[in-house]
Chain A
Amino acid sequence: MSKTRFRVRQATIGDKEQMLQLYSSYTKHFVGSASRTLKPYMSMLRRKDNINYVALDNQDQCVGYVHASFEKKERTGEFREIIVDPKHDFEQVASFLVEKVNAVFAEKKAAVVIAGSLRNPAYEKIFPKLGFFESESMGVFMYAVLDVEKLLNELRPVFENRLNGTKSWKGLVAIECDEHSLFIDKTGKGARYVVWTNESADFRVKLSKAALTRLIFGVADPMGCLKNGELKVESTASRGQTSMLLRHLFPRSQFLIMDFW
C-alpha cells in the first residue's frame, strides 16, 4: 500500500468514468455487488441534494470517492458509498473523504448521520472511531435459485477457474444439485467443462439449493456444510484432498452489496 498525499475536491460530471472504473475494480474483490453502467453515476452527480467528493493523488488521478446525500427537510445525512482504489490504503483515503462530508453535514445542521452497509469491512475501521454506534440490522438479503441447471451452467467458468487453482490434483469433478450435474474435467492442461459423461466422477459434490446459495456467496464454510450434512461428497480423494478441493470450489468470500432494490 502506498502512502501518498491526497487532495479532496467536489466530484463533477466529468469524473463519472473514473468513478465507475474505481467501483468496478473495488467490487471485484467481493461477491454480491451489482454491475453498473454510467447511468447511475450521471444521476448521482446531477442530483442537488447529493454530496460527492473525489480523492485525487499527486498526479490528479482519482483514487477514491464518497457519495453521500442530505435530506434537508429531515435533516438526515447518509453515507451511501465509499469506494477506494484497491491499490491504496482504504482507511487512509476514506478517512479524508468521510471527514470532508462530515464537515458538510455539520454545516447543514444534520440531526442524524447514517452509514449503512452490507458489512463493508472497511466501515468497521472508520465509523466507530468517529463516534458512530454500530447496529446490526434486521434487514436481510435473500436469494432463490429459479433454474438450477442454468445457474450451474452460468457458474461453469467460476468453477473452472477455481479448479485451475488446485495445481496438483487431477480428475473428474461433478457438482450435483437437485438432480442436475455440472461436470468439469481437471487435467494437466487445466479444467475443462464436460457436457455429459457416464464415467464415475473422482470427486462428486451433492448439495441442496440452499447450501449452493450460501456456498456460492461464500457466507458458509464448505467443511461446516459437510459436517452438518448439507453437502455430501463421494470421492476417491483423501480427507486432506477433499478439504482442499472443497475450499477451492467454495472459498469464503466477503459479501458486499451497495445497490438496493
Chain B
Amino acid sequence: MAKPVRYKVRNYVKGDEIAVAKILSECFGPVAPRRLVEWYRRNDVHPEDTFVGIVDGKLVSSVDLVSKGLHHGEGAYLQTAGVSGVCTDSDYRCRGIVSNLMKLAFDKSRQRGLSNASLYTGLDNSAHRIYERLGFVDVMTWRTYMKYMDYPFLFARWLRELNRSLKDSKAAVKRLEGWGKSAKIVLKDVGTLAFRFKKNHFQRLAKPPKRTNIELSTDLETYAKIRRGVVQWEDAVKDGKLSVIKGEPTDVEMLKRILRWKWDE
C-alpha cells in the first residue's frame, strides 16, 4: 500500500467526463468524453450513480453503478448493482481510493434495497484481487470466436492503437523510454509483420530490416491468444507453438509487455 492521501468522494457533476475519460483511457485504452456521456445516457447512469475520488481538487478515481435485472432462475429477475468504469489515475493507485469508492457505492445500493452487485473484469487484471477482497466471487468466464480476414490491416491498426494508448499511459512511457528496438513476427499463413519503436512512437515496417532486434515465429491463433492473455508466452514456447529466433531476454520481455499492454507490476 502506497502512502495514504487525503481525498474527498462526491458524485459526478457535468464536466467530470473529461477527467474520467482520461483515466479510463489510461486503464482500458482510448475513450472520448463524448462517448462516455453517451454511455451514461444509454445505460441510465445518473449523476448520483457515479462516485469520484478527488485529491487536492483533481479527479483521480471513478466508479459507476448501472442497475440491471438479472435472471436468477425460475423467472425471478433480481435487481443487481452493476459496477462499471472502475478506474484510478496511475499516480494514485494502491491507496485504497477505489476500494473505498466501491464500498460507498455498495452502501448506497443497500440503501436503495439492492441485495447484490455484479461486474465484469479480467482474471489477469490487478483489480480482480481488489474485487475478491470486497467479497466478489468469480461466476463465469466467457468464450470468444474470432475469424481474421485481413491480419496485416489489424496489425497496422494495433500499432496505431498503441500510439494512442501511449499518450495516456504514464507507466508505459516510463518503461519504453530509450527502448529503440525493432521486432519481426513471422505468422504462418499470414506472412511477416514488423514494427519498430523509435522516438516514443510505434511504427509499422513494410519490410523488416536486415538486422531486427527481436524475431519470432508462431501461428496466428497462438499470437492472437497471447495478445489477449489467454495463452501465456512461456506455455506457447513450451508447446512448440512459438519460437523466439532472435532477441535479448530484456527485449523479449519488453515485447511481451507491449503485446499484452501490461505495465503494472
Given the interface contacts A140-B140, A142-B137, does A112 sit within 8 Å of B70 by beta carbon?
A: no
- Do B72 and A158 have beta carbons less than 8 Å apart? yes
- Interface residues contributed by chain B, number (CB under 8 Å): 63
Q: Looking across the interface, which residue of chain B has its beta carbon closest to that of A37?
A: B69
Report if A237 contacts B (CB, 8 A). no
- Do B73 and A158 have beta carbons less than 8 Å apart? yes
Chain B contacts of A136 at CB under 8 A? 141, 143, 230
A28, A30, A112, A139: the one contacting B146 at CB < 8 Å is: A112
Given the interface contacts A34-B71, A35-B69, A43-B42, does A111 sit within 8 Å of B228 by beta carbon?
A: no
User: Which residues of chain A from 98 to 134 have a CB within 8 Å of any chain B CB?
Assistant: 106, 109-119, 123-124, 127-128, 130-134
A-B pairs with beta carbons under 8 A, tally:
225
- Interface residues contributed by chain A, number (CB under 8 Å): 69
CA distance A74 to B131 in the complex (A): 32
Question: What 1/0 flags go to B220-234 for Cβ under 8 Å of A?
Answer: 010011001110000
CA distance A177 to B77 in the complex (A): 21
Given the interface contacts A32-B71, A116-B144, A138-B122, does A147 sit within 8 Å of B135 by beta carbon?
A: no
Q: Looking across the interface, which residue of chain A has its beta carbon closest to that of B229?
A: A138
Chain B contacts of A259 at CB under 8 A? 68
Report if A218 contacts B (CB, 8 A). yes
User: Which residues of chain B from 49 to 97 have a CB within 8 Å of any chain A CB?
Assistant: 66, 68-78, 80-82, 84
Q: Looking across the interface, which residue of chain B has its beta carbon closest to that of A209?
A: B135
- Do B137 and A214 have beta carbons less than 8 Å apart? yes
| Binding stretch for chain B, among A8-16, A149-157, A198-206 | A149-157
- Do A142 and B149 have beta carbons less than 8 Å apart? no
* Residue of A27, A116, A124, A261 with most chain B CB atoms under a 10 A cut-off: A261
- Do A142 and B118 have beta carbons less than 8 Å apart? yes
- Do A135 and B228 have beta carbons less than 8 Å apart? yes
Chain A contacts of B146 at CB under 8 A? 112-115, 132-133, 135
Nearest-CB distance from B209 to chain A (Å)?
Answer: 25
Report if A242 contacts B (CB, 8 A). no
Nearest-CB distance from A129 to chain B (Å)?
Answer: 11
Report if A235 contacts B (CB, 8 A). no
Q: Looking across the interface, which residue of chain B has its beta carbon closest to that of A145?
A: B116
| Binding stretch for chain A, among B150-158, B164-172, B180-188 | B150-158
B117, B142, B230: the one contacting A119 at CB < 8 Å is: B142
Nearest-CB distance from B84 to chain A (Å)?
Answer: 5
Nearest-CB distance from A245 to chain B (Å)?
Answer: 16
CA distance A204 to B257 in the complex (A): 51
- Do A217 and B140 have beta carbons less than 8 Å apart? yes
CA distance A87 to B113 in the complex (A): 37
Report if B124 contacts A (CB, 8 A). yes
A-B pairs with beta carbons under 8 Å apart, 27 shown: A33-B70, A112-B146, A112-B154, A113-B146, A115-B145, A127-B145, A131-B147, A133-B147, A134-B145, A135-B230, A136-B230, A137-B141, A137-B143, A137-B228, A140-B140, A141-B140, A142-B118, A142-B131, A144-B117, A144-B135, A146-B115, A147-B115, A150-B115, A151-B78, A155-B72, A158-B76, A210-B137
